[in-house]
């Protein structure tokens, strides 16, 4: 498995995860669950990279339950950060296309990608090994969206 794209992001990722740990100390249950889920998903990528884990394993460990729960309970995603993503939030060139997005729209895109990856895996007998989709690109896009959401929350 090739996760070279993650190499450059590992050091700032540790700082983001530490920040998310602190930020999760809130009385708002949905906000707490969303931040913890984001932190845990970033940890999955980080540990998956360090241990050269398969994409199949990483996909299995990614969670979107807190997002689905927040949507069901009409959580106001502005509580993560009330603004819109601006140029100063962007640390990775590839994320420029998200300028003008809010936390809810970005979180929804993350949720959508997790569901899509799980479905591709299910459609192919429980493994992405033989699929025609560009899983490396899909996984890196998902990771960089999650990292952007964490950076955006941190700036709020």
Residue 9, judged by CB atoms within 10 A of its CB (0-12, 13-18, 19+), counts as buried
* Angle of CA points 15, 19, 21, to nearest 5°: 120
Whole-number pLDDT of residue 85:
97
Range of the structural domain that residue 53 is part of: 4-155
CA dihedral 52, 45, 135, 63 (to 10 degrees): 130
Whole-number pLDDT of residue 1:
47
- Full-model pTM: 0.91
Residue 53, judged by CB atoms within 10 A of its CB (0-12, 13-18, 19+), counts as middle
Chunked into runs of 10 residues, the chain (156 residues) has average pLDDT values of: 61 80 88 96 93 96 97 96 95 93 98 98 96 95 95 90
What is the count of structural domains for the chain? 1
């Amino acid at each position: 498995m090739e996760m070279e794209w993650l190499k450059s992001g590992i050091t700032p990722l540790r700082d983001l995860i530490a920040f998310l740990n602190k930020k999760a100390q809130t009385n708002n249950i949905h906000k707490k669950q969303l931040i913890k889920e984001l932190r845990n998903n970033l940890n999955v990528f980080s540990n998956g990279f360090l241990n050269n884990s398969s994409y199949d394993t990483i996909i299995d460990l990614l969670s979107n339950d807190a997002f689905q729960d927040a949507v069901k309970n009409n959580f106001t995603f502005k509580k993560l950060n009330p603004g819109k993503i601006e140029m100063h939030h962007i640390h990775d060139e590839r994320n420029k296309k998200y300028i003008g997005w809010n936390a809810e729209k970005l979180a929804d895109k993350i949720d959508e990608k997790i569901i899509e990856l799980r479905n591709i895996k299910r459609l192919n007998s429980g493994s992405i090994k033989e699929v025609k989709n560009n899983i490396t690109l899909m996984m890196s896009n998902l990771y960089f969206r999650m990292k952007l959401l964490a950076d955006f929350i941190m700036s709020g």
